[in-house]
A and B are shown apart, each in its own frame.
Chain A
Amino acid sequence: MPVRFLKNASELADVSWETPLPVQVANAKPVPADTLLVATTTVTADANRDLLGSTSTELPTLDGCMQYRKLVWFYFRAGADSTTYRILARATDHNGAPLGAGWQEIVPATTLPGAANSWNRIEIPATTDGYYDQYRIEVQRTAGSNYPLTSKIVGVR
């Protein structure tokens, strides 16, 4: 008894070399991650300064991130000077408008890990899933001198 399948919605076909069983190819999906940002930031003592150098507190660092379960922040810090980072997030409506003013603070001011010339990785959020539309990632030097911080942020679906 040959294996038969519905071809072109109306035609019943036998499985053969000419008409193979249509299957979905496994293990060929695109990598579910996108590079969202590569930026070099001069880490200063400015309060509320984000990775893009903005101190405008309502301005997101990343927008349109709803499709991402998690963001992965890779960074290379050239200096060991004491630094804190803070991560804010919020949702927008379908027009892209934030649902309200301000942010949800998902990581309060926390010491930025890593020594001088070190590679580091931070998951955003650290636990649970994200799916926020907008993120604001702030860094602030609390002692020492300014130094460059080079970041790459990847969105993972």
Chain B
Amino acid sequence: MTPKVCLVMREFSSFNRAWTQILRNLGIDYTLCIATAGSTSATIQTPQGVFAAGSADLRGYFRQFDAVILCDHSLNLNDTARINYSVFWLSWNAPEDPAFLFFNPHFSTAITESAYNSNFPSDFPIVRPDPSDIAGTLEAADGGSATNGDPLIQTQTRARGACVLFLAENILAHVQTICNAHINNTPYYWRLNTAKHSTLASATYTHRVARNGRAGEILAVPAPPTSSEDTETYPSDCVVAYRYRNCFWLPHALARSPFSVNLWDVAVQPFVFWLLYGLQLAGVRPRYKLPVQVETDHPLQATGTGAPFNHAITTQMGILEASWDYMRDFARRKNTAIVNGLVVGTKYRSTSTTYHWHLLYSTSRTQAERDAAMRVHQILLAGHREGSTPCGVHDHTIGSGSGYWSAAVSANFVRHSGMRYGAPNNVPIARGRCCVAPHVLPAGVAGADAQTVQVGDTELVEWDIPTSGTGNTFDLPMDNIHAARIIIESEIEEMLALGFGDGYCAGHKYTNTAANNSGGECYWQALKEFGFRGVRSASACNTNLNTKRIAPNRFWHGFHLIGDMALDIYGAGIASFSWGLYHPSAPDGGDAVRYYQLDHSSDISSGWTTNPELAWRAYRRVLCQATGRWLAMTAVTLGAAYFHPIHCLMPASPSRVLDRFDGWNILNAANQPHYNHAVELLENMDAVVRLLPDVLYWGTITDVMDHRERVMG
């Protein structure tokens, strides 16, 4: 049976293209229908004709679909019409009717249209929001503070999330959740008319989406606190998701904004969980599940030993060791692979003792430090061999420090020894004279050093090529395939010297590039020559030089250029590492709350030291934001999310590294709440994956690339 849904929307100027992109990625067929107005008198333009919103013809048309999805919502509870036309569908409850998915629906009492109010089901159990009595009809969510801006269109920052209890599944998960919002920029949950719900919950009802065979079902509520510190509680009549017969009342899913989905214009859709959950509830079984995977950059590194944690290097290594042991085990249990971009180039080109090679081997490090680092390294190595933590090259020692082609010239470049491009071999290092049509090249023009070079479709003959000589140090122009080959071979040589069998994450033939710079065509070609299938890449793929863009579709001659999404909890360039969920003295952007702009109306910072509840608020918001970003990358752009362990894990308590967050009951070295980003993030995403077995599975970057080829055609 081919999954098929109908999307009903009002106008393309505010239609978020992520709706259709997600459906395409899932292999769900869809039809777009246009409502001609927001009122009950609207007609619905379908490919099979124009039907009145309440007509039998439309009802019959809808019956071919697994689900009908309402795409519009309102920020203004005073609006008198937005999706009024859909009121008739609340009564289309026969077994033959499809499921109706309402996300953040506008059904406030400000709607005065009599046709709406007279057709609104009298037994509908969710209290209609009243803009003149918000406190009596809605429950202010997430602390009740106002967002700095429209909470419904936030993307990478300013999350409004919740720890949600999914009742049927009995699973707790942190997901971005706004049931309704208003022009005061405050998010709300719904209130239930418990008497009506009680009636519905005891009434038998037959429809394929009624899992419990009842007419009404509470699907999800704000989870009760798990700690006495957390006093943010909600009354028993508060709900965030409800099934009324075959109609699902669900929180906000996608913003009303003409976001495109392209190599650049991919605004993060952090509420996407609810669309995926709604599809599953409606029984829309996708052709394809989406692979969930995560990556790290710099899996073994040291950072500053200063405030606020003052961790010694051995302490840092201890936190990494415990965390990597956990992550490796997690990957094994879940059958995923945590891909890691391992900083290389430092064996030859950097003497910084913070990096992987020197942590293991530099005599500037104490024996205890080297031993501690080696324990982390051995976990990574074992994980690479077994497939749980595969590692690939990630080189910050070239160009401007930002990886491939990040500068015109990599000054004082130091290459490796041996292999094909290492010292003392005299190898090309820059472009020579060339002829791209060898069949018209007159005899005798090309010199004795002539060689055939291929980049993409272009095969040419090059000669008079500047070469390296026998030395190992020279200025290396970065804009050519010869440089790319030398650089990549030197990186692989270092990986081999570190004990890894390869430089491309073993069978995945992939790596996450330094600074997300994949360079350009010459690097993509060289990477292919060394066996890579793809790399992670930003759209502007050679910052700081900034002369290149990646190929359309992020696909170049069969080579994948995977999109990037950072899940870090600090701003690189602002702080050397994260100061934790929140720290009163952190630099702006130096902790998770500041980095993700989660201090709504100062409702975290204003009472941090006196109100223990605020740590839980910060925890919820951070986890919701990071999970939302990760999920959006998974579902919309088929990209790769990543974080930097060394920079994100220092807020963990050195003596209780793997403990779950427990507010002020477990403190870190700065006497602030302990928080392990790796543990929390993976556990929360695992809860999401367990909630969505029809849609998600723990996979690998290989699965992501396979899926891109499958759905991108």
Residues of A whose CB lies within 8 Å of any CB of B are 34-41, 52-54, 56, 58-64, 76, 78, 93-98, 117, 134, 148, 150
List, in ascending order, chain A residues with CB within 8 A of B546's CB.
56, 58-59
Instruction: Check B13–A95 contact: CB distance below 8 A.
Output: no
Give Cα distance in the complex from A150 to B261, angstroms. Answer: 11
Instruction: Check B540–A62 contact: CB distance below 8 A.
Output: no
List, in ascending order, chain B residues with CB within 8 A of A38's CB.
17, 260-262, 265
B37 interface residue per 8 A CB criterion: no
B548 interface residue per 8 A CB criterion: yes
List, in ascending order, chain B residues with CB within 8 A of A95's CB.
431, 455, 479-481, 520-522
User: A36-B552, A64-B556, A78-B13 in contact; A98/B547 too (CB < 8 A)?
Assistant: yes
B498 interface residue per 8 A CB criterion: no
Instruction: Check B453–A63 contact: CB distance below 8 A.
Output: no
List, in ascending order, chain A residues with CB within 8 A of B547's CB.
58-60, 97-98
CB-defined interface of B227-268 with A at 8 Å, one 1/0 digit per residue? 000000000000000000000000000000011111111000
Supplied contacts A52-B539, A93-B431, 16 more A-B pairs, CB within 8 Å:
A35-B552, A36-B552, A52-B264, A58-B547, A59-B540, A59-B548, A64-B556, A78-B13, A95-B479, A96-B522, A96-B548, A97-B431, A97-B520, A98-B547, A117-B13, A150-B260
B436 interface residue per 8 A CB criterion: yes
List, in ascending order, chain A residues with CB within 8 A of B17's CB.
38
List, in ascending order, chain A residues with CB within 8 A of B153's CB.
none
Pick the residue among B264, B436, B556 that contacts A94 (CB under 8 A): B436
User: A40-B258, A95-B455 in contact; A59/B520 too (CB < 8 A)?
Assistant: no
Residues of B whose CB lies within 8 Å of any CB of A are 13, 17, 258-265, 431, 434, 436, 453, 455-456, 458, 460, 479-481, 520-522, 539-540, 545-552, 556
User: A60-B548, A64-B551, A117-B13 in contact; A53/B264 too (CB < 8 A)?
Assistant: yes
State the Cβ distance, A136 to closest chain B Cβ, in Å.
Answer: 10
State the Cβ distance, B15 to closest chain A Cβ, in Å.
Answer: 10
Pick the residue among A52, A58, A64, A76 that contacts B265 (CB under 8 A): A52
State the Cβ distance, B572 to closest chain A Cβ, in Å.
Answer: 19
Instruction: Check B540–A34 contact: CB distance below 8 A.
Output: no
Instruction: Check A96–B520 contact: CB distance below 8 A.
Output: yes
Q: Name 16 interchain pairs, CB-CB below 8 A, sorted by A.
A: A37-B552, A40-B265, A52-B264, A52-B539, A54-B540, A58-B547, A60-B549, A63-B548, A64-B552, A64-B556, A94-B456, A94-B521, A95-B481, A96-B455, A97-B479, A97-B547
List, in ascending order, chain A residues with CB within 8 A of B548's CB.
59-60, 63, 96
Pick the residue among A59, A97, A150 that contacts B549 (CB under 8 A): A59
State the Cβ distance, A146 to closest chain B Cβ, in Å.
Answer: 13
List, in ascending order, chain A residues with CB within 8 A of B540's CB.
54, 56, 59
Instruction: Check A97–B480 contact: CB distance below 8 A.
Output: yes
Instruction: Check A63–B262 contact: CB distance below 8 A.
Output: no
Pick the residue among A37, A117, A150 that contacts B263 (CB under 8 A): A37
Q: Residue on B with the closest CB to A117?
A: B13
List, in ascending order, chain B residues with CB within 8 A of A61's CB.
549
List, in ascending order, chain A residues with CB within 8 A of B264's CB.
39, 52-53
Give Cα distance in the complex from A155 to B311, angstroms. Answer: 55
Give Cα distance in the complex from A88 to B333, angstroms. Answer: 52
Give Cα distance in the complex from A95 to B455, angstroms. Answer: 7
